[in-house]
Amino acid sequence: MAEAELSKRLLRLALLVRTFDDTFSRAEDSVDYKKHLKRIEDEQQDFGGVYEGSPDVTKTIRECGNKIIHAEDVRPVYETQDERDDPEAMWGMNGTVELEGTRRDQWKIVIDIHSYVEGVLELINYNE
């Protein structure tokens, strides 16, 4: 159930952030918003990594959101401190999600959910 909830909430977050970004990017006084966004993305530098496809897609909040929205496969990444083959091994999500899709081209990326959500939280504090 956790994976389904994570996917659903991640998609909802990406849609809300895209709407937020569209609204403020198109406003008459968008210069300050764009500076705010650029500062966040420059400080973070990257919200994940790319296995296949354009190397810049995890560098912006908007592109990460686009990939979340258009992903055909979403897989939380698990890890263990135990031996991998041990039937008693304890596994847990490590905070990253692998995404695959074919919108425009074939791509495979990983998004660090902690970094992405921190960037989103900073972004929505615009004008406070």
Please check the confidence at residue 73 and state whether its pLDDT lies above 70: yes
Average pLDDT over residues 27-38: 92
- Contact status, residue 18 vs residue 65, Cβ threshold 8 Å: yes
- Residue listed under structure tokens 């994976």: 3
Report how far residue 2's alpha carbon sits from residue 5's, in angstroms, rounded to the nearest whole number.
5
As a whole-number percent, the residues of the chain with pLDDT over 70 amount to: 99
Please check the confidence at residue 29 and state whether its pLDDT lies above 70: yes
Beta-bridge partners for 109: 50, 99
Average pLDDT over residues 16-42: 93
Please check the confidence at residue 100 and state whether its pLDDT lies above 90: yes
- Contact status, residue 52 vs residue 106, Cβ threshold 8 Å: yes
Picking from 9, 64, 55, the residue whose alpha carbon sits closest to that of residue 37 is: 64
The confidence score (pLDDT) of residue 128 equals 60
Report how far residue 126's alpha carbon sits from residue 72's, in angstroms, rounded to the nearest whole number.
31
pLDDT, one tens digit per residue, over 84-97 is 777 877 877 788 99
Please check the confidence at residue 115 and state whether its pLDDT lies above 90: yes
Where does the pLDDT of residue 71 fall: very low under 50, low under 70, confident under 90, or very high at 90 and above? very high
Instruction: Report the phi/psi class of residue 90: left, alpha or beta, with left for phi > 0 and alpha for psi in -120 to 50.
Output: beta
More confident residue, 78 or 107: 107
pTM of the model: 0.85
Q: Which two tokens stand for residue 81?
A: 């401190």
Q: Which two tokens stand for residue 90?
A: 């304890």
Computed over every residue of the chain, the mean pLDDT equals 89
